Amino acid sequence: MRGGAGLSVSNPLTESTAHELVEKFRSGAATPSAATRAYLDRITALDPTVRAYITVTRERALAAASAADERWRTGRPKGPIDGVPTAVKDVLCTKGVRTTCGSKILERFVPPYDATVIERLEAAGAVILGKTNMDEFAMGSSTEHSAFFATRNPWDLSRVPGGSSGGSAAAVGADLAAAAIGSDTGGSIRQPGAFTGTVGLKPTYGRVSRYGLVAFASSLDQVGPLTKDVADAALVLRVIAGHDPLDSTSADVPVPDYAAELSRPIAGLRIGVPKEYFVEGMDPEVERAVREAIEVLQRLGATAEPLSLPTTDFALAAYYLIAPAEASSNLARYDGVKYGSRVASAKDLIDMYSKTRAQGFGAEVKRRIMLGTYALSAGYHEAYYAKAQKVRTLVRRDFEAAFSRVDVIVAPTTPNVPFKLGEKEDPLAMYLNDIFTIPVNLAGLPGLSVRCGFSLASLPIGLQFIGRPFDEATLLRAASAYEQATPWRDRRPSLG
């Protein structure tokens, strides 16, 4: 099934980017309340089909929009995204609004505090429309592993939007939010960004606070934006980035004015093209689009050179030891004692632990907990987990060597276009979908996906930019130059 034939809720406000909305607020051509109502109407009409949201916070959004109306009316906006309707992945704690992580074990959990990213969004005046669907505890690449329902790709409703931030990506791709927040542990912002034709930015590890982000793998998780264009990604990142004393892994480094960097030309920029990211078996349409994108960047004045990242082939295996090991530790807290679901029929404490976790966690989460627990167990720790950490060091050194020669690395975001719902039932086939995104997380680097074309079936294709630590500005500048020079951003799915 393609599109949303018969549903007509098209509105110039919901088709606008975040920065275009702000210009309308500034000129008086529109108000945050009008934009918010337009988005809520579109959610009501189309989200029963797309299934991007777990929770819609209608009254809270309208109240925030009304407050933003007054600020714009009196010429005192809070910042560059004041009044912008925004969606948030349901892995970030929101005070008074349930945070499920796409899991039955947290189905009724209502946090008593806001994540730092939520505080910063609201301090900047963003209007939060609701919480978006996700693979359970961010473990998945298709949003089919949500405990509640699968989200659909707005470009083809029979296909997945990617994951685990598939709800956030689908919300932006379907014009059900002007911008959204996701999290990326092994590609969970960039891969759904590629699959939905949105801009997905995974910042450097430590650039954005993880306080209030429900942990999957603490040394890999990072929060970032999904947006309609690169300029919006620059605006949202500026709002959410920066040191946070509540997060011990937060980096105390300056946050540039990313939007101001976008207009700088890319002439002379050195681009590296890793041979390991063009592998046998990848979709030829993806390879063609990415190689054509590199030619566009060269016409804009950048220079391109081949390079090698030899440990790429080992990154996937290392990740699926490190991430499950950290998940095994982080998810041990969900035992039915302090918060979350608890079975009522247990005969003793151990029985309660066992039944609560058996009923509360889905199959993919259980699979990764068992894999991680095994990798950390006595007798296997050195053989598996410790060796994976050594490979991680080698991956990081590969990137360090590459960045001594180039300014940015360009590669496919994914080896294939969006696949059909239910197509990848084999876990290994699903894991292989992240082969080009995982190395970036292991090395803690920033990565960005922007659309670089479409397949013959009109499915979006993603181009990935990878940068030096804390050099998101260069990624955004290069991606913006490419975006401005190509027609791809003007296409939109036919949902109505």
Query: What pLDDT sits at residue 431?
Result: 87
Q: Calculate mean pLDDT across residues 1-8.
A: 39
Active-site pick, 188, 250, 341, 480: 188
Residue 410: pLDDT band (50, 70, 90) is: very high
Supply 52's token pair. 């991007």
Residue with tokens 């098209």: 10
**pLDDT beyond 90 at 81:** yes
The pLDDT of residue 433 is above 90: no
Over residues 128-167, the pLDDT tens digits come to 999 999 999 999 999 999 999 999 999 999 999 999 999 9
Q: Concatenate the DSSP letters of all residues of 239-283 into one string.
A: HHBS--TT-TT--------HHHHTTS--TT-EEEEEGGGS-TTS-
**Average pLDDT for 399-426:** 96
Across 6-10, 159-163, 256-260, 266-270, least confident range: 6-10
Asked whether residue 121 carries a pLDDT value surpassing 90, the answer given is yes
Q: Look-up: residue for tokens 């950490």?
A: 389
Q: Are 475 and 447 in contact (CB under 8 A)?
A: yes
| Alpha-helical regions (H) of 361-437 | 363-376, 387-402, 427-431
Mean pLDDT of the chain: 95
Instruction: For residue 308, indicate whether it is catalytic.
Output: no
Give residue 338's pLDDT: 86
pLDDT at 467: 98
Residues 375 and 320 sit within 8 Å (Cβ to Cβ): no
Q: Write down the residue that tokens 């003793």 correspond to.
A: 348
The pLDDT-based confidence of 223 (bands split at 50, 70, 90) is very high
Tokens 């809720």, residue? 9
Q: Does the pLDDT value for residue 316 go beyond 60?
A: yes
**24 classed as catalytic:** no
What is the three-class DSSP state of 69? helix
Which one is catalytic: 103, 141, 164, 455?
Answer: 164
Predicted pLDDT of residue 280: 87
Peptide bond into 494 cis (omega under 30): no
Confidence label for 385 from pLDDT (cuts 50, 70 and 90): very high
- φ/ψ of residue 479, rounded to 5: -65, -40
Whole-number Å distance between alpha carbons of 17 and 19? 6
Residue 116 has pLDDT above 60, yes or no: yes
Long-range contacts (CB closer than 8 Å, 24 or more residues apart) made by 69-78: 69/31, 69/32, 69/33, 71/125, 72/25, 72/26, 72/31, 72/32, 77/22, 77/25, 77/26, 77/125, 78/123, 78/124, 78/125
Q: Report residue 4's pLDDT band, with 50, 70 and 90 as the boundaries.
A: very low
Mean pLDDT confidence for 182-192: 98
**Given a cut of 60, is residue 6 above it in pLDDT?**
no
C-alpha angle 155-160-164 in degrees, rounded to nearest 5: 120
Query: Minimal CA–CA distance to 247: which of 136, 119, 125?
Result: 119
Beta strands in 303-414 (DSSP E): 303-307, 408-412
Of 76-80, 326-330, 423-427, 478-482, the least confident:
423-427
pLDDT at 3 over 70: no
Lowest mean pLDDT among 16-20, 181-185, 334-338: 334-338
Q: pLDDT band for 425, please (50, 70, 90 cuts).
A: confident
Give me the sheet containing 127-132, strands edge to edge.
53-56, 127-132, 85-89, 179-184, 222-227, 199-202, 447-454, 460-467, 408-412, 270-274, 303-307
For residue 9, is pLDDT > 80? no
Cα of first residue to Cα of last residue in the chain, in angstroms, is 14
- Ordered by where they begin, the domains of the chain are 12-270 (3.90.1300.10)
Beta bridge partners of residue 94, listed in sequence order = 97
Q: Cβ distance 340 to 332 under 8 Å? A: no
Active site residue 263: no
| pLDDT the model gives residue 496 | 62
Please tell me the predicted confidence (pLDDT) of residue 25: 98
Residue 143: CA count within 13 A, CB half-sphere: 38
| Entry pTM | 0.96
Compute the average pLDDT of residues 259-282.
Answer: 95
Q: Which of 16, 24, 33, 89 is catalytic?
A: 89
- What integer pLDDT is reported at residue 323 of this predicted model? 97
Task: Read off the pLDDT of each residue in 287-296 and give the average, rounded to a whole number.
Answer: 98
pLDDT average, residue stretch 283-312: 98
- Work out the percent of the chain whose per-residue pLDDT is above 70: 98
Q: Evaluate if residue 62 carries a pLDDT over 90.
A: yes
Dihedral through CA 29, CA 117, CA 362, CA 46, nearest 10?
A: 0
Average pLDDT over every residue of 100-113: 97
